[in-house]
Amino acid sequence: EVGSNVSKFSVGEIVGVGLLVGCCKSCRACDSEIEQYCNKKIWSYNDVYADGKVTQGGFAEATVVEQK
């Protein structure tokens, strides 16, 4: 499924997910599109989402990421 604010992708479309699945979106690094330097980045594996759920990377059955 895709969220109601997703406009670049549709259900069934193949997409790639990198090492990061989240960041603060408001620091200098995020504003400069170098999110890997964000102090609040969320790795796609062995990290924790804001809601407390653990990220599981390629071992997950599903994952939640924001479109970019």
Q: Quick one: residue 37, left, alpha or beta (phi over 0 = left, psi -120 to 50 = alpha)?
A: alpha
Give domain status of residue 32, yes or no: yes
Give domain status of residue 64, yes or no: no
Enter the pTM of the model: 0.70
The boundaries of the domain holding residue 45 are: 20-59
Token digits for 53? 């759920």
Q: What is the domain count for the chain?
A: 1
pLDDT lower than 70: segments of the chain: none
Give domain status of residue 68, yes or no: no
pLDDT at residue 40, as a whole number: 95
Give domain status of residue 67, yes or no: no
| Residue 44 CB neighbours (<10 A) | 18
Residues 6 or more apart whose CB falls under 8 angstroms from that of 56 comprise: 45, 63
- Say how far residue 39 (Cα) sits from the centre of its chain: 15
Give domain status of residue 66, yes or no: no
